[in-house]
Amino acid sequence: MSRPAEAGRVRRRIERFTRAERWVHRVTAALMLTLMATGAVLYLPSLSVWIGHRPMVALIHLYSGFALPIPMAAGLFSRAYRADVRRLSRHTDVDREWLHHRAWREDRARELTLPVGKFNAGQKLNASFQCGAILVMAGTGTLMWFPHLVGVSARTGATFVHDWLALAIGFVVIGHVWFAVNDRQARTGMRTGWVTRGWAEREHPAWAAEVAAEEGSGEDAPGSDALSEAEDRAARGEAGARDRVEGRAVHQARAWDR
């Protein structure tokens, strides 16, 4: 009796992120927050005096920065992660419409009936910005940590870019968290990997249709399992009836012989 209920529950939910994708996001977020916290301590003298252990904080900042690309590189071993990377790097006319009409506002994309895919334009821009910023921060941070590699003017430029880009990253991360806080299903999707089909159809209708099409193509025709099972039962019943008829005939022939 529990199987129909379980099947109904599975049909109402869609897998948005695999376990590998969720771990890449978690480790990247932990490293990013560590970099922001240690960077604030290194940049602000008042915090540096209050926390102390500045050389240790600097080492944590350095190794966290070098480790930041590792989870994303490891995620490339996951097929689902690679598919999402391709989605995030592909900007379409829908994304331009999404940005032009400011569809990041609540219900705006639905009012415009935009066929948003698995990721909207804001999420794509955020991913592109973060990937580019990580590379620039790694390069400028290396020049700052190893000052003998370049001259004074290059180090000064690297420090300028590193500081201001860090500030921009902080604002982007705050915006990212703000949108996540205001969307419970988005948080659930990143925490558990699953979202409701209704949320997907409202917020990402093109992706929901894509998943529905994949599910439809991956399954047999509706009711085919039940039909096959009924045919199998009928065949077994027919065979049993035939055996019973043959058994009665043999029993009757033996009675006549006696």
Tens-digit pLDDT profile for residues 94-114: 899 888 888 777 777 777 788
Q: Taking the model in full, what pTM does it have?
A: 0.73
Summarize the confidence of residues 194-214 as an average pLDDT: 91
The pLDDT value recorded for residue 16 is 93
Q: What are phi and psi of 17, to 5 degrees?
A: -135, 135
Q: What is the pLDDT of residue 234?
A: 44
Task: Tell me the pLDDT band of 224, cut-offs 50, 70 and 90.
Answer: very low
Cβ neighbours of residue 131 under 8 Å, at least 6 residues apart? Answer: 72
Helix, strand or coil, per DSSP, at residue 204: coil
Give the pLDDT confidence score for residue 74 in this predicted structure.
93
The whole-chain average pLDDT of the chain stands at 82
pLDDT of residue 67 exceeding 90, the answer is yes
pLDDT of 250 reads 52
